[in-house]
Amino acid sequence: MNRLPLEILRNIASYLVDETRWVHELNEQCPKTSLALYATISRQWQDIIEAFTFRHLIVTARKLTVAETGHYLSRVRLSHIRYIWFDFEFPAHDLAVSTDAQDYDDQLVFARTVKQLLGVLSQIPPRPRSVVCLEIFISTPRKYCTPWHTSSRISGEMDRVFSGSIRTEYLELPLNWDLDVLHVPAISYFRIELGSRSIMFSPSSINLIAAKMNRLDKVEWWLCDGEKVDMELRVRQRTSE
C-alpha cells in the first residue's frame, strides 16, 4: 500500500473519518473520529494521518505542556495547523489540586499561559500568507455547579454575576509581559469566545495579544453585559485606567 501515490493514500485516510463537525472559520469539516491508531501502520501513514490530526486542535495549558515536554510539536506537525481552540484553565476555580502557590493567582496563571501559547504559535513555520485561526475561551468554573451539569453551571454563574452577588474578574497582562515573546505571523483570524462571566479577558489584554499577531486579518470578540452591574468597572474598562 505504501507504493500508492500520496494523493490516493490521503483519499483513503479521509474515508476513515466517520464523524465530523463544521468549522465555520475555515469553511470545512473537522474530523471528530480519532485517527491516531492508523498512524502506526508505517512512517508514510504517520505523516498522512498527522496532516489530519494536527490540522484542528483543541488545547489547554496542561495539554500544551505535555506536548512541549514530549517534544511532539515538530516544525512539520506545526505546519499542519489551521485551527486552534484554546481553553484557559484556572486551578483556583476548578476544584483542582495543585502544589504550586502561583496556580491560585489568576493573573499570574493568565500571563504565564498567554506567554506559553504565543511561544508555541510563534514556532509555526511562516507561509506567504497567514492561514491559522485561533479561538480562545475560558470555561465556566466548575465550582458553580456539580461538574456533570454543564448547563446549570453556566446559568448559575450568570445569575450570580447579574445579581451582583459575585463580581467579574478581568484578566490583565503585567507591564513588560512580552519582553521575550516573539510575533506570531501565522494567525489570520483571532476569535475571543464568550464563556465564563465571572472570569473574563480585559479589553487591554486582548489588544496586547492581538498586537503580537502581526499579519492578523480579522478579530471577532463576543462580549456580555455583566459589567453593567458595576458602573465604576464599566468606566474603567472603557478608559483602561
Condensed to tens digits (0 to 9), the pLDDT of residues 212-226 reads 999 999 999 887 765
Q: Are residues 36 and 66 in the same domain?
A: no
Instruction: State whether the Cα torsion 85-88-94-96 is positive or negative.
Output: positive
Total number of domains in the chain: 2
Q: Are residues 139 and 209 in the same domain?
A: yes
Q: Which of 61, 59, 39 is nearest to 48 (CA)?
A: 39
Q: Are residues 12 and 47 in the same domain?
A: yes
Q: Are residues 74 and 185 in the same domain?
A: yes
The strand pairing partners of 32, in sequence order, are: none
Q: Are residues 229 and 193 in the same domain?
A: yes
Q: Are residues 3 and 89 in the same domain?
A: no
Q: What is the structure's pLDDT at 20? A: 63
Residue 171 has pLDDT above 90, yes or no: yes
Q: What is the structure's pLDDT at 25? A: 63
Q: Are residues 99 and 25 in the same domain?
A: no
The domain in which residue 11 lies consists of 1-53
Where is the domain boundary, 33, 53, 73? 53
Q: Are residues 34 and 93 in the same domain?
A: no
Q: What is the structure's pLDDT at 158? A: 80
Where is the domain boundary, 31, 53, 75? 53
Q: Are residues 48 and 123 in the same domain?
A: no
As given in the structure block, the three cell numbers for residue 31 are: 474530523
Residue 157 has pLDDT above 60, yes or no: yes
Q: Are residues 132 and 203 in the same domain?
A: yes
Q: Kindly report, residue by residue over 19-51, the tens digit of the pLDDT.
A: 666 666 666 666 655 656 555 565 666 777 777
Where is the domain boundary, 36, 53, 70? 53
Average pLDDT over residues 49-77: 88
Over the range 28-65, which residues count as b (16 or more CB within 10 Å of their CB) and which as e? eebbeeebeebbeeeeebeebbbbbbbbbbeebbeebe
Average pLDDT over residues 86-93: 89
Q: Are residues 82 and 38 in the same domain?
A: no
Q: Are residues 19 and 108 in the same domain?
A: no
Q: What is the structure's pLDDT at 142? A: 76
